[in-house]
Structure 1
Amino acid sequence: MKFLNNIQLDNFLDTLISLVVAFILGGLIGFERQYRQRTAGLRTNVLVALGAAIFVDIALTLHGTDGAVRVIAYVVSGIGFLGAGVIMRQEGNIQGLNTAATLWCSAAIGAAAGADLLLEAVLATVFILAANTLLRPIVHVIERRPLDDEAELLNVIYIVCDRLESQRVMEQLNQALRQHNYPPKDIDVEPFGEQDVQIEATLIATSIEARVMNHIIELLNHIPSVRYAYWDKNTMN
């Protein structure tokens, strides 16, 4: 019956408040990630925040501030393994870095809540949400500008299709690009074999979302007259 000696109403209420705060704040961050359909969404961010809060709260209860500090150090390093699981390499691009960083921040919020630094946890949540929402339009503006005057990274769509249907394919390509706000900088058409042509569309945007581009490529590959379509990046000096 030793566990009865560890039941203290003050400590229980303190733990309850810490976990509730970690749950709510982790949920706010996770909701934004879930809304944008990222790999680590609502439940993952909540669980990361709760886990960090539980570990830190236990250490604080058992060993005081020194114990909490040691556990926080382990949380900071340990969350890196979880973040690595959401980082993927696809089509030459590294994806998931922002989601991994958000998980890292969720752990920090949970640790702050577990250490009874509730106002600090709330403040950190505000800044994290601002980074993931308010800075997003600025990032898109910067990414759509050329890298510099000497070297420019170009996104290029390649389509091989029936020569007689090339005009219709280009119309559908332009329609898909306009829908996603990726206007073409230049479109070249060259013979490809006896009956086909290759359409090469260079985009103005220097950086694009792989998810959107893969969707466009999928649409193009479903056109009956298209043999195949893909996209790649070229560097123009």
Structure 2
Amino acid sequence: MTLLWWEVGARLGSALVLGSMIGLERQWRARMAGLRTNALVATGAALFVLLSVLTPGEGSPTRIAAQVVSGIGFLGAGVIIRDGVSLRGINTAATIWGAAGVGCLSGAGLYPIAAAGAVAIVLANVVLRSLARKVDRTQSETDRRYLYDFKAVCRDAEEAHIRALVVQSVTSAGFVLQGLESEDLGASGKVEVTARLSGKGKQGTELESAVSRMSLEPGISSVSWRVVESDPEL
């Protein structure tokens, strides 16, 4: 197949412009692979496809495109960084992969599909970003574990009975008992029983129900609870 010089230029120009459009969003987000990287990836992919198109019989464009995908995999791996137990840069690597696909389409002369692909990649990075953050916030609130102190003040003679009631009340509500201690309140003849609890998500309603049940016990003078701390990794 013989291409005119202007058609070669149009295919390369399409790859350059569409790759730049993808990279502009990455540059604006201050990511490692920004404007130039995505533009070069798309243009390079178009060049490889053009090589196959201009040398018929040596290899099909689809086979060359498959090799481009493999090569881009190594490039994408270079932008992925391990940060503790998490990985950063996976989205940028996927964007580079998509830019290579847009470049291959441009090199093959499939301009509308290449343009549609570039728009889809930009929309995925821009529009889905806010949705992903909302999902992350929802999951983080659900997965976050909270520590609570559940306290009951009772008569000294009722201490053993109240300790057993506290444990039964909070564990039946789905909390994990982290510790249980009693403290004499001076010469008042009363004891403060404190249970340290942990639970996933905010469980104020369950604690209020436990307070209501415990306050009905005749040996108890006061019941209260408070949040000690919250930790998503607790």
Aligned residues: 150
| Alignment root-mean-square deviation, CA | 2.4
Cα 1:115–1:92 change in 2 (3 A) is same
Q: Aligned with 2:233: secondary structure?
A: strand
1:140 matched residue in structure 2: 133
Indicate conservation of the 8 Å contact 2:140/2:232, yes or no.
Answer: no
1:91 matched residue in structure 2: 84
CA deviation string 1:44-69 (max 9, x = no partner): 00000000000001101112795211
Q: Aligned with 1:94: secondary structure?
A: strand
Deviation at 1:147, TM superposition (A): 5.6
**In structure 2, how many angstroms separate the alpha carbons of the residues matched to 1:97 and 1:153?**
24
**In structure 1, how many angstroms separate the alpha carbons of the residues matched to 2:128 and 2:23?**
17
Flag structure 2 segments of 5+ consecutive residues without an equivalent: 146-200, 202-230
The answer to whether structure 1 residue 56 and structure 2 residue 54 are counterparts is: no
Q: Aligned with 2:55: secondary structure?
A: helix
User: What are the within-5 Å matches in structure 2 for residues 183-198 of structure 1?
Assistant: none
TM-score (structure 1 length as normaliser): 0.59
**Candidates 6, 9, 17, aligned match of 1:24:** 17
1:47 matched residue in structure 2: 40
Counterpart AA for 1:87 = I
1:235 matched residue in structure 2: 233
Indicate conservation of the 8 Å contact 2:69/2:100, yes or no.
Answer: yes
The answer to whether structure 1 residue 126 and structure 2 residue 119 are counterparts is: yes
Deviation at 1:13, TM superposition (A): 1.6
Deviation at 1:112, TM superposition (A): 0.2
Counterpart AA for 1:60 = V
1:5 matched residue in structure 2: none
Deviation at 1:93, TM superposition (A): 1.9
Q: Aligned with 1:144: secondary structure?
A: helix
CA deviation string 1:100-142 (max 9, x = no partner): 0000000000000000101100000111111000111101100
User: What are the within-5 Å matches in structure 2 for residues 161-176 of structure 1?
Assistant: none
2:161 matched residue in structure 1: none
**Candidates 106, 109, 116, aligned match of 2:102:** 109
1:211 matched residue in structure 2: none
User: What are the within-5 Å matches in structure 2 for residues 64-79 of structure 1?
Assistant: 67-79=60-72
**In structure 2, how many angstroms separate the alpha carbons of the residues matched to 1:234 and 1:144?**
11
Cα 1:52–1:153 change in 2 (3 A) is farther
1:33 matched residue in structure 2: 26
**In structure 1, how many angstroms separate the alpha carbons of the residues matched to 2:139 and 2:51?**
51
Moved over 6 A (4+): none
Indicate conservation of the 8 Å contact 2:80/2:90, yes or no.
Answer: yes
Indicate conservation of the 8 Å contact 2:45/2:68, yes or no.
Answer: yes
Q: Percent identity?
A: 42
Counterpart AA for 1:59 = S
Counterpart AA for 2:83 = Q
Deviation at 1:235, TM superposition (A): 3.5
Answer with 1 or 2: which has the greater Rg.
2
Cα 1:69–1:146 change in 2 (3 A) is closer
Flag structure 1 segments of 5+ consecutive residues without an equivalent: 1-7, 155-203, 205-232
Q: Which moved more, 1:59-68 or 1:25-34?
A: 59-68
Counterpart AA for 1:73 = A
Cα 1:115–1:17 change in 2 (3 A) is same
